[in-house]
Amino acid sequence: MEFCPKCGTIMFPNKDGCFVCKSCGEEKKITKELSDQYEVSQKVSSQETVIFTGDEIKTLPTTRAICPKCGNKEAFWWLQQTRRADESETRFLRCTACKNTWREYD
């Protein structure tokens, strides 16, 4: 990601070969060094939401938990409301090694 040197907002590429800040209008020319850092997999319009996908993106928090499948001692975790709102949420865990997913209830 490229950030605006003036206001710190994320800059997006435009059709003219520049990164443009949507907040303050600052422009930064895309040089060979900058273009080597980024890979465009699909073009989207500026109104669309960009979603990063893939297993290589590790954004979930981790905790110590023993995987019931492989015995690994670290797992990603997240909470999700799976029952009524007056009941506690369900904790999901995914092994960092084998990607096995299981749930825990409170």
CATH of the domain at 74: 2.20.25.10
**CA 19 → CA 4, 6, 15, 48, 51, distances in Å?**
9, 13, 9, 17, 19
- Give the confidence band of 7 by pLDDT, cuts at 50, 70, 90: confident
Containing structural domain, residue 22: 2-37
| 50/46 Cα distance (integer angstroms) | 9
Would the pTM of this model clear 0.75, i.e. be above it?
no
39 pLDDT more than 70? no
Q: Which is the catalytic residue, given 16, 33, 55, 86?
A: 86
In a domain, 66, yes or no: yes
In a domain, 84, yes or no: yes
Active site residue 86: yes
Q: How many domains does the chain have?
A: 2
32 pLDDT more than 70? no
Question: With contact defined as beta carbons under 8 Å apart, do 4 and 21 qualify?
Answer: yes
In a domain, 46, yes or no: no
In a domain, 51, yes or no: no
Active site residue 87: yes
For the stretch 55-102, pLDDT in tens is 555 678 999 999 999 999 999 999 888 878 888 888 999 999 999 999
In a domain, 68, yes or no: yes
Q: Which is the catalytic residue, given 87, 89, 104, 106?
A: 87
